[in-house]
Structure 1
Amino acid sequence: MNNIANRIDRLPTTPMLKKILFLTGIGWMFDAMDQGMVSGVMAAIGTDWGLNTGQIGLLGSSGMLGMILGAALSGMAADKWGRRNIVMCTLIIYGIASGLSGFAVNYPMLLVLRFCTGFGLGGELPAASTLISEYSPKKIRGRNVIILESFWAWGWILAALVAYLLIPVYGWRVAFWAGAVPALFAAYLRKAVPESPRYLEIAGKHAEADQLVRIMEQQANIESLPVHADEYIYNKETKDHLSLGDLWSKKYIRTTIVLWIIWIGINFGYYGFVLWTPSLLMAQGFALVKSFEFTLIMCLAQLPGYFSAAYFVEKIGRKKVLALYFAGTALAAWLFGHAGTTTQVLVYGCLLYFFSLGAWGCVYSYTPEVYPTAARASGAGWAAAFGRIGAFAAPLVVPVIYNTYGEKTGYGYIFALLTAVFAMVAIVVAIFGKETMGRSLEEISQ
């Protein structure tokens, strides 16, 4: 193991790590707020502009298409130019595009702006999770990344409040403006986030990496380890970046296949229900305001989902938590699709959000751990990009099923499909997944 990695893994939670986690999480929260508001504004825009279900679905998918390209390019860029720079730039792109979406004068203009918003969002998430993973000691690494992902829940709660309180009164444009301004402010705050020491080490910037780790060691009252000459030999040997083809080499092919199945499964399943929840509830007889109210209540269930996953991921491991929470999501999707009363809609909906967001947190925790530092952001970015194909397809598939089989029957078929997807991912993880709990990042990728 190299010197920087060994020193980071000895650390407890330090004030510097808490600061980095919080500032990165704030940006993550406003990303989530934008995604959450899309589900609310889709129904309102559809009514305002007289869009059919196919056009509404394309509106959701345009953002996902941007996320595919953003994730693929930003991962490679973060391995080349650093995690911090990409995290900053992508959040600025997202914030500007989201704000301009509120000024869209027609449907084509909004499609383009939603694509740009998705590009920024898709680019930020892999780089941000990689940054937190690389800053965290091995004993709390998984927990920290899930805590980062838990900011997503707060973003969705804010989005649900905006949808519930503002959209019915002021219209859908205010939702985009409400998310853009704080997102740009969060980008400004992120200027205080330093670069990953592990990245600096493989980039040959040993003094900068040493200084950052030394600050955390001083905060924790831990004496720095001596640097040996052979540590820099290790870094020189791993300095070259891995290509997409390398991710499919014999050494990493199993890891890549499992990871990509996880990503496309959770994206298709999650965006298959979350973007359409208000619209689907309206079709079942609930008013728009009531559907926003139900969505807000369901969003609150995300928080215990994240926090429970953050606890168990360091107790029983990533593999078991992933399999358990995907299986729970599959069961909840089936129950939600067969809910017959208001109480059942709320209870099963809360279970669906609880398990699915707990699974999301563990996916983000697991993803940066399975590749070496030289390819960590690229590996995470390509997995996210492939997964977003599922997110792109889901908003298009859902209305096709819905229109083909009618409101009642189609509603059940949609959630039967989502159940099958979540169950398949649970089985793949349980059989082929890799356990990474308690191991250094360098050890896992050997």
Structure 2
Amino acid sequence: MTTTGVNAGGRLDRLPIAGFHYRIFALIGAGLFVDGFEIFLAGSILGALVQSGYSDLAQNARFISATFVGMLIGAWLAGVAGDRFGRKFAYQANLLIFGISALAATLAPSMNWLIAARFVMGLGLGAEIVVGYVVLSEFIPPQQRGRWGAALATCTNGALFVATLVGWVVIPHLGWRWMFALCGIGAMIVWFLRRSLPESPRWLETQGKSAEAEAVLTAIEQEVGKGRTLPAPAYQPAPVQPDVSFMRLFSRALIARTIVGCVILIGLNTAVYGFIAWIPTFFVKQGINLSSSLGYTMLMTLGSPLGTLSGMWIGEKIDRKPSLIVLSLAAAGLGLIYPMFINPVAFVVIGFLLVFTVAVMLALAWGLYIPELFPTELRMRGSGICNTAGRLMSIVTPFIVVELFTRFGVTGVVSVVAGLLVVQAIAVAVLGIETRKRPLEALRPEVMDGEASLAQARGKLQPSTGGIAGGGE
């Protein structure tokens, strides 16, 4: 394969953490926080809409499904646009889309108009999740990638607690429209600030744009180095492959990675949007007043930021595969015992632990594992197709939740979620690869296959313990 000689991966991975990395993190994290806030505000808003008579369960289901149809399309388009036109184009376009549509939602005259505005919001929301994690993974050195990727997930999932807290304060006094106004204003501010973000040198290198990649790398090295001598880079060449078909994601080299990524996001999307996002509505339908419902939910969702913060330590210290397997099974167990408790303290504690466990998985999977699975020239589309699979499940999840809750109560809902989490654990165990602290270029299928073949060859060359080789004469 042809290489450019730019060595973007090696040069980026040898850089010490500096102000440049914090700036990249802050601008990406701000966008993901607004994205998460806008996604998670649905739980508080829909409970209020039901209580006020503005909506009902069926319309709430259409609202959530419209969100996920938009997010599905947005995730796929972000993958295509990010690999074709660059990371910078993708992450600016999506912010503009969901910022403007959130402001439009504040003026919605009916629930049908609000559902339509939510669909457009979903286009930008789905794209932001794909782009943000991919972009950060391409700038942060592998030794710190676990901590920083999980910290980025904290920006997204910490928004669950903040959205619930703000909803608890704002909705009863100012109404639900102000929640969308806050999102729209925040998105437009971040869009303006993010214009200074650089293009990914790793992407430029795979597109054969050597001069542009060199210019961006030189500027980054000058900013980080500030006159100091930087460590010598390892040689981590990336092949020039500007026109790789997305069908390669289904080739023998990548099909297992594509499957495990899809299964993980199907399981996690169902856990978040099939249970956590519906908690306030479940409480209201069970006769708990809106204020108490939002208060209980706020306490439970405190597990989200704490979980993703814990993911920073786990992502740094413990391998990805065993972490995801154990957490999947733990969340499944917590989900199954949740309906057994009727005491408010007990179900808030179990609910908190469930949200905490899911949040750790979100940090490890969305923030780290999914972008690590795919090579640079397919990273956006690989992440996009995994997110698309998750969104496909999320589209039908609200209707399944309504049916299960109507027939079997909360027990039916959490049983289905638990089953999917068990399947997730099996998929990671059988099909997953280990990625912790490895350069992205070293995770390319051909590199890992070469390492496996070399290790196998070395094993065959090891002397036996008997006969002449074992020291016999």
So what's the TM-score if we normalise by structure 1? Answer: 0.93
- What does residue 373 of structure 2 align with? 370
User: Residues 202 and 239 of structure 1 are in contact (CA less than 8 Å); yes or no, is this contact kept in structure 2?
Assistant: yes
User: Residues 269 and 390 of structure 2 are in contact (CA less than 8 Å); yes or no, is this contact kept in structure 1?
Assistant: yes
- What does residue 124 of structure 1 align with? 128
- What does residue 385 of structure 2 align with? 382
Measured against aligned partners, the alpha-carbon deviations of 1:282-338 in whole angstroms (never above 9, x if no partner) come to 233321111111222222221221122221222221112211222222122223232
Distance in 2 separating the partners of 1:227 and 1:210: 16
- What does residue 254 of structure 2 align with? 252
Distance in 1 separating the partners of 2:142 and 2:403: 45
Change in CA separation of 1:226 and 1:248 when aligned onto 2, cut-off 3 Å? closer
User: Residues 217 and 224 of structure 1 are in contact (CA less than 8 Å); yes or no, is this contact kept in structure 2?
Assistant: no
- What does residue 324 of structure 1 align with? 326
- What does residue 421 of structure 2 align with? 422
Larger radius of gyration: 2
Question: Structure 1 segments of 4 or more deviating over 6 A?
Answer: none
1:431 aligns to 2:430 (yes or no): yes
Distance in 2 separating the partners of 1:188 and 1:444: 34
Distance in 1 separating the partners of 2:96 and 2:21: 23
Change in CA separation of 1:264 and 1:153 when aligned onto 2, cut-off 3 Å? closer
In structure 2, stretches of 5+ residues that fail to align are: 447-473
**Which amino acid letter does the alignment assign opposite residue 427 of structure 2?**
V
1:161 aligns to 2:165 (yes or no): yes
Distance in 2 separating the partners of 1:13 and 1:294: 40
**Which amino acid letter does the alignment assign opposite residue 111 of structure 1?**
I
Q: Find 2:404's aligned residue among 401, 404, 408.
A: 401
User: Residues 268 and 393 of structure 1 are in contact (CA less than 8 Å); yes or no, is this contact kept in structure 2?
Assistant: no
User: Residues 161 and 302 of structure 2 are in contact (CA less than 8 Å); yes or no, is this contact kept in structure 1?
Assistant: yes
Distance in 2 separating the partners of 1:278 and 1:98: 22
- What does residue 440 of structure 1 align with? 439
**Which amino acid letter does the alignment assign opposite residue 430 of structure 1?**
A
Work out the percentage of aligned pairs sharing the same amino acid: 30
In structure 1, stretches of 5+ residues that fail to align are: none
User: Residues 47 and 284 of structure 2 are in contact (CA less than 8 Å); yes or no, is this contact kept in structure 1?
Assistant: no
So what's the TM-score if we normalise by structure 2? Answer: 0.88
Change in CA separation of 1:338 and 1:19 when aligned onto 2, cut-off 3 Å? same
> After the TM superposition, which residues 295-310 of structure 1 pair with which residues of structure 2 at under 5 Å, given as runs?
295-310=297-312
User: Residues 37 and 163 of structure 1 are in contact (CA less than 8 Å); yes or no, is this contact kept in structure 2?
Assistant: yes
User: Residues 98 and 117 of structure 1 are in contact (CA less than 8 Å); yes or no, is this contact kept in structure 2?
Assistant: yes
Give the superposition deviation at 1:441: 0.8
- What does residue 450 of structure 2 align with? none
| 1:442 alignment partner, SS class | helix
RMSD between superposed Cα atoms in Å:
1.9
Q: Find 1:315's aligned residue among 314, 317, 322.
A: 317
Aligned residues: 437
Q: Find 1:102's aligned residue among 106, 116, 128.
A: 106
| 2:275 alignment partner, SS class | helix
- What does residue 179 of structure 2 align with? 175
| 2:230 alignment partner, SS class | coil
Measured against aligned partners, the alpha-carbon deviations of 1:396-423 in whole angstroms (never above 9, x if no partner) come to 1111112223xxxx21111111111112
Change in CA separation of 1:222 and 1:396 when aligned onto 2, cut-off 3 Å? farther
Give the superposition deviation at 1:253: 0.9
User: Residues 140 and 314 of structure 1 are in contact (CA less than 8 Å); yes or no, is this contact kept in structure 2?
Assistant: yes
